[in-house]
């Protein structure tokens, strides 16, 4: 893992998955809760990827300008944010329109017939 991201597996899990992943999770929830389109997630995740790369450099002596590490970190954050967005959007649709929709899974809803 260190050859891909430039930091150890513990740092990757602690910093990228736990700390920055929580920020990505909350960003996905915030954008879905305000009924914004999913496309607004991506600029935020690009910026959060830069922050994550900087923190791994400043705190754990990882490489700052590692394109491969940045891409891996940002992809992990995008996946977390998109899953959070989809789950929150499904929950909001069912809560907002209970007479029209019911849950059909964690990320989807279906029309009541």
Q: How do residues 40-54 score in pLDDT, each as one tens digit?
A: 999 999 999 999 999
Nearest 5°: CA angle at 34, between 28 and 26?
25
* Total residue length of the chain: 113
- What is the reported pLDDT for 27? 98
- What is the reported pLDDT for 113? 81
pTM given for the model: 0.91
Position 23 pLDDT exceeds 90: yes
Cβ within 8 Å of residue 102, ≥6 positions away: 94, 109, 110, 112
Q: How do residues 58-83 score in pLDDT, each as one tens digit?
A: 999 889 888 999 999 999 999 999 99
DSSP 8-state code for residue 110: E
Token duo for residue 111:
């029309």
- What is the reported pLDDT for 6? 82
Residue where the block lists tokens 């496309």: 39
């Amino acid at each position: 893992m260190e050859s891909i991201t430039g930091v150890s597996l513990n740092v990757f899990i602690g910093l990228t998955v736990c700390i920055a992943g929580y920020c990505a999770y909350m960003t996905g929830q915030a954008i879905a809760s305000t009924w914004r389109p999913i496309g607004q997630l991506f600029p935020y995740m690009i910026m959060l990827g830069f922050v994550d790369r900087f923190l791994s450099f400043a705190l754990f002596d990882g490489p700052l300008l590692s394109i491969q590490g940045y891409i891996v970190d940002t992809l992990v954050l995008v996946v977390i944010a998109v899953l959070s967005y989809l789950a929150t959007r499904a929950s909001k649709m069912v809560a907002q329109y209970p007479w029209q929709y019911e849950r059909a899974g964690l990320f989807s809803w279906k029309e009541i017939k």
